[in-house]
Amino acid sequence: MKPVPVIAIDGPSASGKGTIAARVAGVLGFHVLESGALYRLVALASLRAGVAETDESSLAGIAAGLEARFLDGKIILSGEDVTEELRGEGIGNRASAVAALPALRSALLDRQRAFRQPPGLVADGRDMGTVVFPDAALKVFLTASVQVRASRRYKQLNDKGIHANLASLSRDLAERDERDAKRAAAPLVPAPDAVQLDSSDLSVDEVVGAVLKLAREKLESQQPR
């Protein structure tokens, strides 16, 4: 039986991979997985429970028992809409820290793979193409300079009325990049067969178009002749 096709979009924080994944999935009629949201959910749930970000066993337990749903663009934790709360920089930094723990990553692996449903899946994260879906039909590693990513995040936060400091955002992103790239468990690196795409000078529409072109070529090449 032919496996359900997966398009894996990996990349550093604020590279735009979530936006691109959602747009590509919408055009193709595929399901979408924002894997980073799962780590942010663990970060938020553990913070609320008073669990330290170094308590690997307790964090893995929280991950295994998450009562989380993704519904119409909203993220629900134990019946509460936490979509906006998850986007905070504090939760993002905590998520990056706990994501380095092997037991936590293992606890979320099956949950992520369960999103693979017909007709297909677009999954974004940091290890979608290397660990979670190594057989993905297309692997894209999406990046942009730290300066561009910080500017994008700054604009997003300002548009929501959230005060932010551009220099601080740049520093946080650079530190997160280094932490993600150097962690022992599933480090942030392009898969050997990934297409690397720098979006620093591209619009969202241009990136979506490029990924769709690659996806259609891959999917068509895998159709039975």
Supply the pLDDT for residue 89: 79
Residue 224 placed within a domain:
no
Supply the pLDDT for residue 149: 94
Dihedral sign for Cα 42, 47, 53, 56, please: negative
What CATH number is attached to the domain comprising 23? 3.40.50.300
Q: Which of 66, 74, 77 is nearest to 108 (CA)?
A: 66
Region 17-37 average pLDDT: 93
For the chain, what is the domain count?
A: 1
What pTM value is reported for the model? 0.87
Residue 111 placed within a domain:
yes
Region 161-183 average pLDDT: 88
Residue 225 placed within a domain:
no
Residue 203 placed within a domain:
yes
Residue 41 placed within a domain:
yes
Average pLDDT of the chain is 91
Residue 1 placed within a domain:
no
Supply the pLDDT for residue 214: 97
| Parent domain of 119 | 6-219
Q: What percent of the chain has pLDDT over 70?
A: 98
